[in-house]
Amino acid sequence: MQLERLIEGHQAQLGCTRWEGTFRDYLGYVQANPHVCSLSHARLFRMIESAGVTSNQDGKVYAFFQDRLFGIDKPVARFVDVISAAAKGLDTRKRILLLVGPVGSGKSTLAVLLQRGLEEFSLTGEGAVFAIRGCPLNEEPLHLIPHTLRPAAEKELGVKIEGDLCPQCRWELENQYGGDVFAVPVHRIFFSEQHRTGIGTYVPSDPKSMDISDLVGGLDLAAVGRYGNEGDPRAWNFNGALEAANRGMFEGVELLKMPIEFIYTFITLTQEQNIKAGRFALLYADEVIIAHTNETEFANFIAQKRNEALHDRVLVVKIPYNLIVREEIRIYEGMIRSASLDCHLAPHALEVAAQFAVLSRLKESKKRNTSTVTKMKLYNSQHVQGFTAEDTRELQREFPDEGMTGLSPRHIIDTIAGAIVKNGAKCISPIQVLLEEKGVIEKGRHVDIEQNKDKLVANITEIRALYDEAVKKELQKAFVHSFEDTAQQLFNTYLDHIQAATEKTRVKDPVTGEDVEPDEKIMKGIETHMGISDSSAKGFREEVLRKIGIASRRGETFKWDTHPALKEAIEKKLFEDSKSVIRTTVSVINPDREHVKRIDAVVEALKDEGYCDICARELLRYGAQLLMR
């Protein structure tokens, strides 16, 4: 059984990666593998970078986040830049990394990814971590080296030694090992949130029941009775979330909702890298502190003067909503994949939902003739006549905080779930998704919806228009026999005529075989769908021929869909030519055998594109109404 082999392999890996020895043994290991002494930020950055880094026109893209966080590569890259700076020892390592963004933007997902990543990374040789056996803080064994000897140790080992022994380890060194550091046992540890090793998490609860001991530990009353002294390190439970996170990462969920005395603990931890626990000296702690909150809580935090001491100890990384339709679809696909869905989602159902979500997040541009629909298309890398890649970048720079408001992916998924439950259908169409969303808007049960009801209703109208255009294309492809071949043939004909017109030569008539003058009607039949005027036609034709020549020299093929504007024009032209046939076929009330045969053929063609029998026939009915308007 394959599952058994996988489990056995995992257990074998754990067995091979376990290591135990004395401090003397550990020194030899460090000399051969200095990276095992990395501080928490350096280890986290190494983990992220080891998964792979690529670059695009917008900056670096980290593969570590690619399968879980969609459309927010820039904010993620900014976050990693901070980790990178901290890994180099800069002062950013003494900051709380505060992720600020709207609900459902991916803040907690990012934190969870880092936690799971550290767990897996600690199983590898590159991510190996060692600690003093029995230490409640899993501290670095090199803390056993006295401060006076550390300069020599750092030079010989090629590492940086930072921190001090915790009270329990100091007591054991003096009383159990007689001060002999070489006798102290060392072992390899593996990060685990479940085992509270290297990963700590804290979620604020009722302010009346919250206790600082949840963060820093507390007295063990039974041990106090046994040892007779509250100052004995054996009488203290060093089991707070901050102590558990030592050497790794601490996640503060809604950290800004914590009481002020909790906040002071973080002031000491961030600036001095120390934790104050009871009657003991400050405990050294090396951990990446990541917190997340929404903008409202963050604004309240900034406004309160009592929090001023923490303001410059917080480094804010904004995590907005995704603004790219295709990436939004991937978010929904991931959320749906984990559900036992016995309902088919028709093609474009998730697309219209994604368009609705993205439109709700976009701000109206001040640039002329740039609607939110245009912005949505440009952000999605779609061709829009008259706009360039630089125009898209300018739009993205216009509002740095774009994406911090709008509808969350959770809201959209809830709406889709509502459409499935309400209809009880085996297939949900894009129109059903839009109707369900419209119903939710009209009820206005959510503050964001109530405040933006008119805008959201207008968005649905705009998305309906986009879907109508998509329906026309779907029907065109299904009805036109060998669509790709037909489109390429039309492109070749257009190409022959513009080349002849530009070079002042003749073309061969496909029927008579005679050489004839290039036909302006054929050329304009394509160009009118691109909005090209008579005066600019000559320049456009020369541009197309030039691009074909460049592609040819590179050994590339220039096909009908290579040029975005030409592709769209050819699609429109083919639909225009076949519209009457489509209208006649789908609008017949009592179809005869020939009509039924043609409809069945179209349904089969649609099935090849991801439709089921139900949504394919629904598309035909909707298309009939659309073409009769």
- Confirm if 487 and 477 have CB atoms less than 8 A apart: no
Tokens of 589: 């009330």
User: Torsions phi, psi of 276, nearest 5?
Assistant: -95, 115
Q: What H or E segment, with its residue span, contains residue 314?
A: strand 314-318
SS3 283: strand
Q: What H or E segment, with its residue span, contains residue 56?
A: strand 53-56
CA-to-CA dists, residue 532 to 158, 385, 495, 540, 569, angstroms: 68, 10, 16, 8, 11
- What pLDDT is stored for residue 287 in this prediction? 94
Give 264-271 contacts, CB < 8 A, sequence gap 24+. Answer: 264/309, 265/212, 265/215, 265/216, 266/96, 266/310, 266/313, 267/309, 267/310, 267/313, 269/242, 270/94, 270/95, 270/96, 270/313, 271/94, 271/313
- What pLDDT is stored for residue 481 in this prediction? 65
- What pLDDT is stored for residue 448 in this prediction? 63
Which residue ranges of the chain lie beneath pLDDT 50?
A: none
- Provide the H-helix boundaries in 96-208: 107-121, 150-157, 167-175
CA angle 600/605/610 to nearest 5° reads 120
Q: How far apart are CA 200 and CA 442, in angstroms?
A: 43
Q: What's the chain's Rg over C-alpha atoms?
A: 32
Per-residue exposure over 511-534, b if at least 16 CB sit within 10 Å of its own CB, e if not: eeeeeeebbeebbebbbebbebee
Comparing CA positions, the residue from 509, 507, 511, 541 lying closest to residue 523 is: 541
SS3 262: helix
pLDDT digits (tens, 9 = 90+) for 292-308: 988 888 888 888 877 77
Q: How far apart are CA 113 and CA 116, in angstroms?
A: 5
Letter for the amino acid at 297? Answer: E
pLDDT digits (tens, 9 = 90+) for 490-528: 898 899 999 999 988 998 877 777 888 988 988 998 898
